[in-house]
Homo-oligomer: A and B are copies of this chain.
Amino acid sequence: MGRAGRRSSAGPRRSKAAAEAILEAAEAVLAEVGYAGFTIEQVARRAGAGKPTIYRWWNGKPALLIEIYARQPLDLSDTDTGSLEGDLVAALARLLTFWRETPAGEAFTALLVEAQHDPAALEMLRAFLAERSFPFADLFDRAARRGELAADFDLAAGLDLVSGYVWARLLTRRLDNDAPSLSSAARQMARGCLRR
């Protein structure tokens, strides 16, 4: 290994291929044993990497979980149905499927759990939620442009209700796309925001 190689493995800069291998290993561990067995040790073993390398690049489990989440493809385009209610039905179904079918669901569950005993993880969870500005914000923007929203609509409350609803489904493992109950929930959420 040449000088550059040595320097890169000792410095904060990542080797792209090694990082990718670690992320893939982390996804595999999550998928196979769930968050309870998800340790940096396990990930390192599976990736054939050293624990120090992982800690140098991610500084801990929460950061690794967030990167796993963020690299999964969540496509909420084509959810413009012409009304907030329709958009919510489409986007909720898309999000539940995303959590069910990619490592994102297990990664987010793990982050929620970590946040309950690790103050640093709680800070990262909050920053993550604020930064990503939860994808549903776009739906409310669209509704505002259509003139659907009540004058006193509060975006923060709207996002709290949507995210609470989907978190509760995640945590009780109801990620199936049961159209009738999604429709009822979306109808109530939308009506709560609309002009009367």
Query: Which A residues are closer than 8 A to B by beta carbons?
Result: 34-36, 109, 112-113, 115-117, 122, 125-126, 129, 150, 152-154, 156-158, 160-161, 163-169, 171-173, 181, 184-185, 187-194, 196
Chain A residues touching B, majority SS: helix
16 extra interchain contacts, Cβ-Cβ under 8 A, other than A154-B181, A167-B168?
A: A113-B116, A126-B172, A129-B172, A154-B185, A157-B181, A157-B184, A161-B164, A161-B185, A161-B189, A164-B164, A164-B166, A164-B167, A168-B168, A189-B192, A190-B192, A191-B194
Q: How far is the CA of A29 from the CA of B112 in the complex (A)?
A: 22
Q: How many copies are assembled?
A: 2
Say which residue of B126, B156, B158, B188 sits within 8 Å of A158 (CB atoms): B188
Residues of B contacting A126 with CB < 8 Å? 172
Q: What separation, in Å, do the CA atoms of A192 and B186 have in the docked complex?
A: 9
A152: chain B residues within 8 A (beta carbon): 187
